[in-house]
Amino acid sequence: MTRAAISAFRTYVVEAAHPVEVRADGSTDLVRWLTARLGRPITVPALRAHGFRLMGGRLLPAGDEPAAMLMYDDDRGTRLTLYSRAGPTGGRCVFRHARADDVAAFSWIDTGMSHVVTARTDEARLLRVAEAVDAQVAGKREGAR
């Protein structure tokens, strides 16, 4: 899954005109659409405290299943993606770090969803973002119970 997330990152972050299918100003429609397609609730984490704002998102193929990709950017033009798809039900997997040349990623699994945060940034900054995403996704899930 991490390889697929890094590949999607490399494909779409270079796009100037169409980096996302649905822009952030349509985030309500984006969440509804991705949730329906994945069959699992999708949360759009707020990452402004880490300097990133939502650009929008898109639906991607992930083998026989769909995946959701949300894209963020900061004031320096650094782009970050959150790639999510249905994963093993139950349980939790700790963060795993991966690097492919200049692209860093943190992946984890939690309660039926797999997530990968990817960016061209340092490991410490990306880990803080991954922890914030995880906390917000977990909080949304617990609040929905």
Percent share of the chain, pLDDT over 90: 72
Q: Can you point out the beta strands (E) in 25-135?
A: 53-62, 65-73, 79-86, 92-100, 103-110, 113-119
Per-residue confidence (pLDDT) for residue 91, from 0 to 100: 67
Q: Tell me what the mean pLDDT of segment 20-38 comes to.
A: 91
Query: Which of 34-43, 46-55, 67-76 has the lowest average pLDDT?
Result: 34-43
Phi (first) and psi of residue 45, to 5 degrees: -65, 145
Joined together, the tokens standing for residue 22 give 């649905």
Contacts of 106 (CB under 8 A, 6+ apart): 95, 96, 97, 98, 116, 117, 126, 127, 130
Q: What pLDDT does residue 145 have?
A: 33
Provide the whole-model pTM: 0.91
- In angstroms, the CA 84 to CA 116 distance is 7
The reply to whether CATH 3.40.1210.10 applies to domain 2-144 is no
| pLDDT single digits (tens) 118-128 | 999 999 999 99
Shortest CA distance to 79 belongs to which of 129, 43, 137? Answer: 129
| CA 95 vs CA 14, 38, 56, 124, 139: distances in Å | 26, 22, 24, 13, 17
Q: For the segment 83-119, what is each residue's pLDDT rounded down to a tens digit?
A: 999 876 666 778 999 999 999 999 998 878 999 999 9
Mean pLDDT across the chain, nearest whole number? 90
Domain boundary assignment for the chain: 2-144
Q: What percent of the chain has pLDDT over 70?
A: 92
